Amino acid sequence: MKVLDSEQNRLKLVLNILVVVLSLYGVAKREMIYDETSQFENLLMDFFGPMQRSVTFLKRKTGSLLDYYVLNINASKENGQLRNRVDELQNKIFQLDEISKENKRLKGLLDFNTDVKGKKVLAQIVAWDASSDYKAIRINKGQADGIKLQSPVVTTKGLVGYIFRLTDNFADVLTILDANNRVDGIVSRIRSHGIIEGFSGNKCLMKYIGRTEAVILNDMVVTSGLGNIYPKGVLIGNVSRIERENYGITQYIEVTPSVEFSKLEEVIVLVSAEASKIKKEWEALDNSEEKE
């Protein structure tokens, strides 16, 4: 029985080997497929070949150009969007910078200290008076905010002027640059009194200082507290020019205000509880002068 099984296995092995050999022989003998072309077909191939090559070349170039054009358009759009975004961000940075500067100025004004009893009203300048009669500024606070006529107006750098015109929501400030605004001042170093009046070129004159008074350049001039309007000790400016004539009893003195009016943006209005009383006193004096 075992002999029969072994013979069958040998037969199967021989048959498998034979099948494999025949398959390999068939593959080795298989001829490559090819087609012989006629003269006419050769002419057609030679004629249309360059045309097909040109069409294929143009197709590739056109596709590349279209892709390049589309990419450029998309890139231009993206660049435009990015430029707009950059402009927006720069504008926001500028606004934040301006807000930061304004906050610093307002903080300085809020920290301003003075001996005036009463409240301090923080206001922003909205306009300069366009008329040539007065050198005045308009602020965005008025009677509704508690501001009263003849209230002094200051900044952290010094004296600005006083309220001379008033509505419910706005007020006009007559600055010390106006010749109609007279401030009683003191040369701080030598305690000499004089009257400060507005002059041309953003300057002020200090009048009625005796020719023998030893005023020197850069002497500091402050308010004396006289006149019932301005508190004492508020900086007005510094002496910038002195002329002493051989004749006369006074000397010519120019004062440069400490406040840079061309850069002024915010001010403080000092509202004293005695402002109404002062106003009534002035009105009484004016009425008495008119009767005379």
- Give the model confidence (pLDDT) of 50-90 as tens digits: 766 766 767 776 767 666 666 777 777 777 777 777 767 77
* Mean pLDDT to the nearest integer, 228-247: 88
- Asked if residues 200 and 181 have their Cβ atoms less than 8 Å apart, the reply is no
Write down which residue in 111, 127, 150 finishes a domain.
111
Q: Which residue has the higher pLDDT, 190 or 283?
A: 190
Same domain for 210 and 269, yes or no, is yes
Question: Into how many domains does the chain fold?
Answer: 2
- Please, what is the average pLDDT of the chain? 77
Same domain for 78 and 135, yes or no, is no
Enclosing domain of residue 165? 118-284
pLDDT of residue 131: 66
Write down which residue in 64, 79, 111 finishes a domain.
111
Question: What gap in Å lies between CA 139 and CA 264, rounded to an integer?
Answer: 11
- Residue 43 placed within a domain: no
Same domain for 195 and 59, yes or no, is no
| Confidence check: pLDDT of 190 > 50 | yes
Write down which residue in 111, 142, 157 finishes a domain.
111
CB burial string 91-118: b at 16+ within 10 A, e below: eeeeeeeeeeeeeeeeeebeeeeeebeb
Same domain for 95 and 131, yes or no, is no
pLDDT of residue 97: 66
| Confidence check: pLDDT of 139 > 90 | yes
Residue 210, Cα to own-chain centre: how many angstroms? 48
CATH number, domain at 219?
2.40.10.340
Q: Can you tell me whether residue 123 is helix, strand or coil?
A: strand
| Confidence check: pLDDT of 170 > 90 | yes
Same domain for 171 and 224, yes or no, is yes
* Mean pLDDT to the nearest integer, 7-19: 73
